Chains A and B, each alone.
Chain A
């Protein structure tokens, strides 16, 4: 199984603060993803990356940004947190190469973000 780690697990923060959610994987996967999920709702893809220096916006518009400077690291940053950003953020990776290929995702434990 892939090892993929997210920190922090829980974060409570005030409006206007800048935050970075960390995600690291040790399996050397090229593809990494960020999903946002609220209770009873589907997982929404907000960012993805097919490798170093590759980042794309997902299907759900998000005010967050991501970077992919190293294969194993895919942090997500919110420059100014708002209560509407309160959600669970899930990082995932997969071992596919290139644009094609369907494969399973390995998820981290998630970060539950609450913005007051």
Chain B
């Protein structure tokens, strides 16, 4: 049973607009959440994270929101740029699994010029 789910396989937005990527999780013991960005034929790179004691974390154009009661987090990219086109993975971890990360399937974001 997949514990981290990204239900939208793909998302297409216009340059300059907001991109919203969503992620749901089922394990209430997860307490740390991360987003990674992956270009084709490369490894993922860390983008932003959030601890369960917070509901929002911001880093430049990237903001992650966490709704613990709904077991839902989202990544907002504003404004979106063509260079943001990539696959975005949501990951979750908790001390109950020794800090190992569980990943979602990824969402392919395409930002059109």
Query: Which of B58-66, B69-77, B88-96 participates in binding chain A?
Result: B88-96
Q: CB-CB < 8 A to A112: which residues of B?
A: 41
Query: Which of B14-22, B43-51, B78-86 participates in binding chain A?
Result: B43-51
- Interface residue B111 (Cβ < 8 Å from any Cβ of A): no
| Contact-size category for A | 20 to 34
Which A60-110 residues have C-beta < 8 A from chain B?
90-92, 94, 96, 99-110
Q: CB-CB < 8 A to A35: which residues of B?
A: 103
Q: CB-CB < 8 A to A105: which residues of B?
A: 34, 36, 44, 46, 91, 101
Bound CA–CA A91/B42 (angstroms): 11
| Smallest CB gap from A4: residue in B | B43
B interface, CB within 8 angstroms of A: 2, 4, 9, 31-32, 34, 36, 41-46, 49, 51, 89, 91, 93-95, 98-106
